[in-house]
Structure 1
Amino acid sequence: MWRYLAIAAAGLMLAGGGLLLWQSDAAGPSLPSPALAADAQDAPLGAPPAASEKTREEKRFGRYDKDKDGKISREEYLASRRKAYAKLDANGDGRLSFEEWSAKTSERFAKADADNSTVLTPEEFATTKVQRKTVRPAPCVPETEG
């Protein structure tokens, strides 16, 4: 019997607490005092704003516009592709064979195949895992008290 009374009392207290919270939210947010506003002006600035998308796009445009005439020609647009192609075309004949295209992969396989068996064991294959660079978080600047 006492259990039922305790449960009923707890339910009433929860309902009363919810009613108080609901009424305090209905009154709206309270305005900060002038003393708090003055402290906020003296507070150190937060992190600088990130570059806008337009700024990033302007930088990308600048990288492609090699002659800085404000326009990107087809040749300027394809220049990065031509450089990448030229690196792969080892014999410079203007044609990319499968061997030239897969040279890095073939070298990676040969390096991983430690016993020169032309097959990779699970241990050898594990050495071909792509090594990702971790991005370091921005350093924290400690706040100084004024």
Structure 2
Amino acid sequence: MAISRFLIGGVASALLLTGGLFMWKGYTQIAEVEVLPDPPPALPAIPAAAANAPKRGPAPPALPAAKEASREERRFNRFDRDRNERISRVELMSSRTAAFRKLDTDGNNLLTFEEWAVTTGKKFAGADADRSGDLTRAEFATTAPKRKAKPKCRC
């Protein structure tokens, strides 16, 4: 019984390997067959207008106004520092460096549990107005980061 299972498993493995080999060969042949299209022909040179040539026609229509960026587009653009339409890990974490530096009290670029606990404990103690050891909803709401006032005009 055990030997028949072993043989069936071996045959199934051989079939899977053979199928994988054929698929791999098929994909490599497809990749070799692809041919790049010919480059477009060069455009003829545009002759320059003579001195007494008539003026051009009417001005082209005005361009449509650019759409205002959505909230998510603005948020994405805030993190995409190099404007390559991709956010790297460094770009994403760069906005958090100021907060990290506040927590890293000894300035060694390593955050220990003690550094984090001291800062968190101070924040908790500052929010616990009635000194009960628990935060009520109103007290907890005071721990939210303060938002900076946005300038009304960037003229």
Common fold by TM > 0.5: no
Could you say which structure has the higher helix fraction?
A: 1
| TM-score normalised to structure 1 length | 0.37
| Structure with the larger RCO, 1 or 2 (CA within 8 Å, 6+ apart) | 1
| TM-score normalised to structure 2 length | 0.36
